[in-house]
C-alpha cells in the first residue's frame, strides 16, 4: 500500500531523537574457589563461566544490558572484576586456594552492587532487579551472619534476587538458604556447571528484553539441578 505522503519529507532523523543508555541487568557471581574445588569441579566451573560470558556476548540485547562482577572466595576474597560490560571483560581462569570465606565474599559483592546502583542513579541509567549467584561446595569458614542479613533484607524488599547453588554432596544447603529467604538453594546435578550457566545466560536474555509489568519466565531447571 502506498503512503499518503512522501516518507522522505516526513521522516525524523536520528539527530532529532534522544539516546538513552540501555537498561542494565547487574549480575554478581560469587564463586567458591577453595581447595576442595580442586580437580574436575574447578575445571567445569571455568568452563561454565566461559560459556556464560560467550553466550551473553552472542546476544546483542543481553550484551548491551548485562553487567557482570565476579568475586571468588578461596583462601581470601578476590574481586576478579567490578561491574562492567561483559564484552570488555576478559574471561577469567579460576584457580583453587585455601579456605572458604563466604561471608566476606558476599559482603564484598553487596558493596560492589550498592556502589553500582549509586552510579546508575547518578547517571540516569535504568536497571532491572540485580542478581547474585552464590556457588559453593562446602561450608563457610567465616561468619556469614551480617552478609546473610543483608541479602535477606534486600530479597524481602524485592531489591535483589539470590541464586544459591550447592555443588556436590558436601555443600551446606542450610547456610546457603540463609542468604535467600525466598528462593530455596538448589544442588547442582553432578558437575553440570555448563548447563547451569547456559540457563543463567538465557534468563539474563529474557530479563533484558522484558517490559514493565512483564513476569519473566525462566526455563526449567531440571537440566542442571537436583530436584
227 touching other proteins, by CB under 8 A = no
7 touching other proteins, by CB under 8 A = yes
- Report the relative pairing of strands 186-188 and 161-166 from DSSP bridges: parallel
Q: Which is nearer to other proteins, 20 or 174 (CB)?
A: 20
Shortest reach from residue 195's CB to other proteins, in Å: 25
119 touching other proteins, by CB under 8 A = no
Burial zone of 166 (CB within 10 Å; 0-12 exposed, 13-18 middle, 19+ buried): buried
Burial zone of 176 (CB within 10 Å; 0-12 exposed, 13-18 middle, 19+ buried): buried
- Report the relative pairing of strands 131-136 and 66-74 from DSSP bridges: unpaired
Q: Which is nearer to other proteins, 62 or 80 (CB)?
A: 62
12 touching other proteins, by CB under 8 A = yes
54 touching other proteins, by CB under 8 A = no
218 touching other proteins, by CB under 8 A = no
2 touching other proteins, by CB under 8 A = no
Cα separation of 140 and 88, whole Å? 32
215 touching other proteins, by CB under 8 A = yes
Measured distance between the N- and C-terminal CA atoms of the chain, rounded to whole angstroms: 55
19 touching other proteins, by CB under 8 A = yes
83 touching other proteins, by CB under 8 A = no
Task: Report the residue from 20, 169, 174, 227 that binds other proteins according to the rule CB under 8 A.
Answer: 20
Cα separation of 143 and 85, whole Å? 32
Task: Report the residue from 123, 169, 174, 220 that binds other proteins according to the rule CB under 8 A.
Answer: 123
Q: C-alpha cell of 153?
A: 533484607
DSSP 87: G
Helix (H) or strand (E) holding 198, with range, is: helix 193-208
Site string for other proteins, 158-197 (x = CB under 8 A): xx--------------------------------------
Cα separation of 38 and 36, whole Å? 5
Residues lying near other proteins in the complex (CB under 8 A): 3-5, 7, 10-12, 14, 16-20, 23, 61, 123-129, 158-159, 207, 209-216
Amino acid at each position: 500500500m502506498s503512503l499518503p505522503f512522501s516518507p522522505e519529507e516526513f521522516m525524523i532523523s536520528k539527530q532529532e531523537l534522544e539516546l538513552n543508555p540501555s537498561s542494565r541487568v547487574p549480575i554478581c557471581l560469587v564463586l567458591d574457589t577453595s581447595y576442595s574445588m580442586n580437580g574436575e569441579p574447578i575445571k567445569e566451573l571455568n568452563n561454565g563461566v566461559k560459556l556464560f560470558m560467550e553466550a551473553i556476548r552472542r546476544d546483542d540485547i543481553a550484551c548491551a544490558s548485562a553487567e557482570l562482577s565476579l568475586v571468588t572466595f578461596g583462601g581470601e576474597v578476590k574481586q576478579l572484576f567490578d561491574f562492567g560490560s561483559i564484552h570488555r571483560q576478559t574471561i577469567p581462569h579460576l584457580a583453587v586456594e585455601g579456605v572458604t570465606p563466604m561471608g566476606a565474599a558476599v559482603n564484598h559483592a553487596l558493596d560492589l552492587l550498592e556502589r553500582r546502583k549509586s552510579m546508575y542513579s547518578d547517571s540516569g541509567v535504568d536497571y532491572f532487579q540485580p542478581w547474585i549467584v552464590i556457588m559453593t561446595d562446602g561450608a563457610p569458614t567465616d561468619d556469614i551472619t551480617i552478609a546473610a542479613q543483608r541479602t535477606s533484607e534486600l530479597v524481602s524488599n524485592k531489591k535483589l534476587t539470590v541464586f544459591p547453588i550447592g555443588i556436590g554432596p558436601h555443600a551446606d544447603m542450610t547456610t546457603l538458604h540463609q542468604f535467600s529467604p525466598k528462593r530455596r538453594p538448589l544442588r547442582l546435578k553432578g558437575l553440570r556447571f555448563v548447563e547451569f550457566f547456559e540457563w543463567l545466560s538465557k534468563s539474563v536474555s529474557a530479563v533484558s528484553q522484558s517490559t514493565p509489568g512483564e513476569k519473566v519466565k525462566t526455563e526449567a531447571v531440571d537440566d542442571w539441578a537436583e530436584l
